[in-house]
Copies of this chain bind each other. A is one copy, B any other.
């Protein structure tokens, strides 16, 4: 399907992802824009933006859904196999550009992988 119309919600959410260079959770966006948009709308716009290859999603440490901007993805090809880092202190989540070398697994066909690294981020690192 894909995002077709340039609505207020799409504009505002996209602007948020452009402004902040980090990943943002759906929960966070819903809280931030609760006076402007309904949570259902936010979930649906995020879905569409992911289908379109504008955002990619992954699960954070508590199973919450996070989104971040894609680099070089399209609706037909998603390239989001990079690891993510979540700070256990401030909760911030970043995309890591470093690639992961997956272990060898006999007799199995690997399709996707998600690596979530947790620890202390540069800001919280004392």
Contact = CB atoms under 8 A, between A and B. Distances in A.
A89 B99 CA distance: 26
Interface residues of A, number: 34
A69 to B, nearest CB: 20
Interface string A61-83: 00111000000000000000001
Given A103-B98, A103-B100, A114 B115 contact: yes
A94 B112 CA distance: 15
A110 interface: yes
A112 B98 CA distance: 17
A19 interface: no
A102 B96 CA distance: 11
